[in-house]
Amino acid sequence: MNLDTPEASIDGIKNAVIEEFYQLDPRARVKKTEFFNHTFAPDLIVSWPSNAKRYLYLRSETELGYLLEDLRFIQENRPIIFELSDAIASEGGSANELERQSERNDTLVTDAAGLGSLIDGRDSKFLELATSSLAQGGRGVLDENNGKAATLAFRGGFDGALSLDRTRTKNAVYAIARYLNLDHATRMQSLLQAVWVGAGGSLSNFPGNSPHSLAAISDDALAFLMEYDEIDDDYFWRRLGANVGLPQLTRLTLPQGSPNLEHFIHANLNVLWGRCVRVKEAQEFLSDTDNVIGTRWFAQHNLLGLRGRSFAAYFGDRVQELDSVRPTRRDGVTVPALNNRASKLHIDQVEFASENRTLKYASSDGSNLVDTEELTGVGQSMGSSGLIKRAEVKLISGQHLSCDFTSASATARTSARIPLVSLALTAIPLFATLSADIYEHLAKMFEIEAPKAGQAELDFSTDTDTDT
């Protein structure tokens, strides 16, 4: 590095700080300004994908009194002050006042040794989350000693909550409240509360200030848990699932899924409800080595998905969200194919279409039309080009699903919500070609009787593949 000129020296200092900040939070983006050690103008601007932004001011004060004066000028921006000297490691009245003022005004005051202690401590996913939160919403004075103490407290937080260890959890909650602004502290504490409750603890016994009931886990906390090291504990996920519904799951971005998402769905299948599903057929969505049981849950396009070797089913809470998954367009399904695919379903209305006619046919008493002579006769009367485009499936609950064979989609009537299990057990067999082992797996996963062997493939006519 050539630091022979003042400009090169300033640029070298900024580059060194930028590199250290990237190590603290790899998601951050840091932009240089033309200023250096200016009273009001920042030296660096730090931003994040969420559009959050903080100004970073470089200072080289040897007296804390000057640093306190600078803080009063720029505190409205809740900035980061990076001290190039070792002044913030001082003790005494000015140091105490700097700590009080920076905490009160949500300003983070740190130096190379302070950031270094945090960077060196990033040895777990929870520590990575904590240091990222400090970068975005940190406050107070984080010199080397405070950085080491905060790292030690954060390190025990997640495991402490998971094991219901009050001491370690309390230390983490204290560090969170001390070194993070209200918004980021609330998110981090929400995560620890969710882990505490999932592990079997009560919020009334959670160390720190907390509500008596956990209304919801934040999206950030849920995403963190889904990508965390595997937690193979149905009891944990079931307790956590009491406050998580399908709408929140669809806000996750897990295109390849995760072990914890699998555990969560398995533990909460009976309490998840949605309004719609679309099924796409394709060869080898999964390779033989991707998943030995043949399916995998994932979250993508604001939908929750279940992927098998030859299909992917997308579940949502809003019908319009299905538009993000372009369907494989079909003309319809023949009566024999419908009878075979719907052998375990109750269909009380169908809609036929041929080259020049459409016909809606329904049972007058709501009885099942599947595998009846009447339905066969109507199909024959429509001629060789007559296909069923839509069908109404009556569920055990009395609710109906409108199934569209032209787009392989099923939606609830009006604003009704349908159990996720019912959506899956209706749509996947109707719209996807399934092998015997996938049938067996789905039957086991959804706790139903497996269909008889030899299910025929859907007799679709013209295919127009518009795969995403």
- The model's pLDDT over 315-366, given as tens digits with 9 standing for 90+, comes to 999 999 999 998 878 899 999 999 988 988 999 999 999 888 899 999 989 9
Identity of residue 105: N
Whether residue 202 lies inside any domain: the answer is no
Residues 171 and 278 in one domain: no
In a domain, 36, yes or no: yes
Give me the mean pLDDT over the 227-232 stretch: 91
pLDDT for the residue 424: 94
Q: pLDDT per residue over 263-277, tens digit each?
A: 999 999 999 999 999
Paired with 45 in beta bridges are: 31, 55
Across 404-420, average pLDDT = 92
Is residue 3 predicted with pLDDT exceeding 50? no
Query: What pLDDT does 452 receive?
Result: 39
Tens of pLDDT, residues 74-128: 777 789 999 887 767 666 667 888 889 889 989 999 999 999 999 998 888 899 9
CB 394 within 8 A of CB 352: no
Residues 379, 341 share a domain? yes
Return all residues near 246 (Cβ < 8 A) that are at least 6 apart.
272, 273, 274, 304, 315, 316, 317, 420
Q: Considering 238, 255, 270, which residue would you say is the last residue of a domain?
A: 270
Using alpha carbons, list the distances in angstroms from residue 228 to 129, 147, 242, 328, 398: 11, 24, 20, 35, 40
Asked whether residue 222 is assigned to any structural domain, the reply reads yes
Are 250 and 282 members of one domain?
no
Identify whether residues 172 and 26 lie together within a single domain: yes
The pLDDT of residue 46 is 93
Q: Please tell me whether residues 169 and 250 are part of one structural domain.
A: no
Among residues 125, 343, 346, 157, the alpha carbon closest in space to that of 226 is found at 125
Find all residues with CB under 8 Å of 238, minimum gap 6, and list them: 267, 268
- pLDDT tens for each residue of 273-309: 999 999 998 765 655 545 555 789 999 999 999 998 8
Question: 89 with 229, same domain?
Answer: no
Domain boundary among 235, 270, 305: 270
> Which of 195, 229, 246 is the last residue before a domain boundary?
195
- Say if 292 falls within a structural domain: yes
Q: What is the pLDDT of residues 26-57, one digit of tens each?
A: 989 999 988 887 777 889 999 988 788 999 99
Nearest to 118, CA basis, from 108, 131, 106, 107: 131
- Whether 1 is covered by a domain: the verdict is no
Torsion angle of the four alpha carbons 183, 188, 191, 195, in this order, in degrees rounded to the nearest 10 = -150
In a domain, 203, yes or no: no
Element (H, E) at 233: none
User: How many C-beta neighbours within 10 Å does residue 278 have?
Assistant: 28
Residue 466 has pLDDT above 80, yes or no: no
For residue 4, what pLDDT band results from cuts at 50, 70 and 90?
very low
One-character DSSP codes across 241-277 = HTT--HHHHTT--BTT--HHHHHHHHHHGGG-EESEE
Residue range of the domain that includes 302: 272-468
Residues 306 and 360 in one domain: yes
Closest CA relative to residue 463, chosen from 251, 230, 253, 280: 280
Tell me phi and psi for residue 316, to 5 degrees.
Answer: -145, 170
In the predicted model, is pLDDT for residue 251 greater than 80?
yes
> What does 111-158 look like in DSSP terms, one character per residue?
EHHHHHHHHHT--SHHHHHHHHHHHHHB-EEE-HHHHHHHHHHHHHHH
> Does some domain include residue 204?
no
Which burial class, exposed, middle or buried, applies to 454 when counting CB atoms under 10 A from its CB (0-12, 13-18, 19+)? exposed
CA distance 126 to 122: 8
What is residue 261's predicted lDDT score, i.e. its pLDDT?
Answer: 97
Return d(Cα 118, Cα 80) in angstroms, integer.
Answer: 15
Looking at the structure of the chain, the number of domains it has is 3
Residues 398 and 288 in one domain: yes
Asked if residues 277 and 316 have their Cβ atoms less than 8 Å apart, the reply is yes
Most confident of 185-194, 210-219, 400-409: 400-409
Q: Give me 272's structure tokens.
A: 């998840």
pLDDT of 246 above 50: yes
Over residues 52-85, the pLDDT tens digits come to 899 999 988 767 777 788 787 777 778 999 988 7
End-to-end alpha carbon distance in the chain: 48
Cβ proximity of 220 and 230 under 8 Å: no
Q: Mark whether 71 and 167 lie in a shared domain.
A: yes
Residue 207 lies in a domain: no
Task: Estimate the crossing angle of helix 182-198 against helix 144-162, to 10 degrees.
Answer: 30
Q: Averaged over 431-452, what is the pLDDT?
A: 72
Element (H, E) at 97: helix 93-104
Partner residues linked to 81 by β-bridges: 57, 109
In whole numbers, what is the pLDDT of the chain averaged over residues? 85
Taking the C-alpha atoms of residue 193 and residue 217, their distance in angstroms, rounded to an integer, is 9
| Model pLDDT, residue 283 | 60
**At 1, is the pLDDT very low, low, confident or very high (cuts 50, 70, 90)?**
very low
- Do 341 and 458 touch, CB atoms closer than 8 A? yes
Least confident of 162-166, 223-227, 436-440: 436-440
- Surface-to-core class of residue 415, CB atoms within 10 Å of its CB (0-12 exposed, 13-18 middle, 19+ buried): exposed
- Does residue 293 share a domain with residue 254? no
Two structure tokens written together for 163: 């094991």
In this structure, the answer to whether residues 307 and 171 fall within a common structural domain is: no
Do residues 266 and 279 both lie within one domain? no
pLDDT score recorded for residue 427: 94
